Amino acid sequence: MLAALNTSGLRELLAATEGESHVKASVSTANPEGGIRALGLMEVLLGSASCTDPVTEGIGLLERDACEIVRAFGRVTGETTAVVSFSLLRQTLCSKLHVDHVPLRVMVTYFGAGTEAGLNTGLNTGLNTGLNTVLNTGLNTGPNTVLDTGLNTVLNTGLNTGLNTGLNTGINTVLNTGLNTGLNTGLNTGLSGYRIQGLVASCTQNYDS
């Protein structure tokens, strides 16, 4: 199918079309054809662009492939309906991996940079690493800064100024150094999720996902 898509001219036409496109609908897993056609992929993806017969056939290939994916999704999950979405993305939506909140999602990238996915096993590792960094880096750095800065200022300037400066510096250090370092480390280590770019189809149970 990808070979036929590559010769349809659809990729080139999408590349020349400005902006991004998103469409989503709930369809029957037993008979998805009507629901998939109702998405109106031709209009959603290409707007008023003039389409050749091969491009029209390329859209038909996408629709037929989506129908097969929905049927397989229904067989595996036992669900009678599935939520199908098509997205044409010019850049990733999230700077980090997007964390998913559905039991199962099928994703297909037809054109573009593709889909990066993180494994579920990375979730605990990411969170544990992030929280440990918060505790070890942020909390240790924060109190030390409180004591060093605050006490010195107490001696030199006065009690109120010292405590305010010390506490503010320490708390800011905890928040800025500890949390930022910890959360960035946690997310980068491997939270379950994905990051997508290109023409992507998604199939899941949850309409709000």
Q: What is the pLDDT of residues 141-164, one digit of tens each?
A: 555 554 455 545 444 544 454 445
In a domain, 171, yes or no: yes
Once rounded to an integer, what is the mean pLDDT over residues 52-73? 95
Within-domain flag for 94: no
**Are 185 and 162 found together in one domain?**
yes
Q: What is the pLDDT of residue 196?
A: 61
Same domain, 62 and 161: no
Residues 132 and 159 in one domain: yes
Q: Is residue 63 domain-shared with residue 26, that is, in the same domain?
A: yes
Lowest mean pLDDT among 4-13, 62-71, 147-156: 147-156
The two three-digit tokens of residue 111, written as one number: 């054109």
- In this structure, is residue 36 part of a structural domain? yes
Q: What pLDDT does 201 receive?
A: 81
20 and 107 share one domain: yes
Residues 87-98 pLDDT 10s: 998 887 666 666
Q: Are residues 12 and 109 in the same domain?
A: yes
pLDDT higher than 90, residue 24: yes
Percent of the chain with pLDDT over 70: 56
Banded model confidence at residue 36, pLDDT cuts 50, 70, 90:
very high
Mean pLDDT of 63-77: 95
Q: Does 181 fall in a domain?
A: yes
pLDDT of residue 104: 83
User: 57 with 131, same domain?
Assistant: no
Residue 209 included in any domain: no
The whole-number pLDDT of residue 183 equals 38
In whole angstroms, give the CA distance from residue 59 to residue 55: 6
User: Are 54 and 29 within one domain?
Assistant: yes
Check residues 191 and 103 and name the one with the higher pLDDT: 103
Domain count, the chain: 2
Claim: this prediction has a pTM higher than 0.75: no
Residue 12 clears pLDDT 70, i.e. is over it? yes
Q: Is residue 57 part of a domain?
A: yes
| Paired residues of 27 in beta bridges | 82
Please check whether residues 18 and 85 belong to one and the same domain: yes
| Shared domain check, 184 and 132 | yes
Q: Where are the alpha helices (DSSP H) in the chain?
A: 2-6, 10-16, 33-38, 41-46, 53-77, 122-133, 140-156, 159-173, 180-190
| Residue 106 sits in the same domain as residue 137 | no
Q: Which of 113, 59, 118, 66 shows the shortest CA–CA distance to 90?
A: 113
Residue 95 lies in a domain: no
Q: Above pLDDT 90, what percent of the chain? A: 34
7 plus 84 within the same structural domain: yes
pLDDT on residue 37: 95
Asked if 99 and 190 count as a contact pair (C-beta separation under 8 A), the reply is: no
Q: Which residue has the higher pLDDT, 21 or 126?
A: 21
Residue 41: domain span: 2-89+102-113+197-204
pLDDT at position 101:
72
> Per the domain annotation, does 81 fall within a domain?
yes
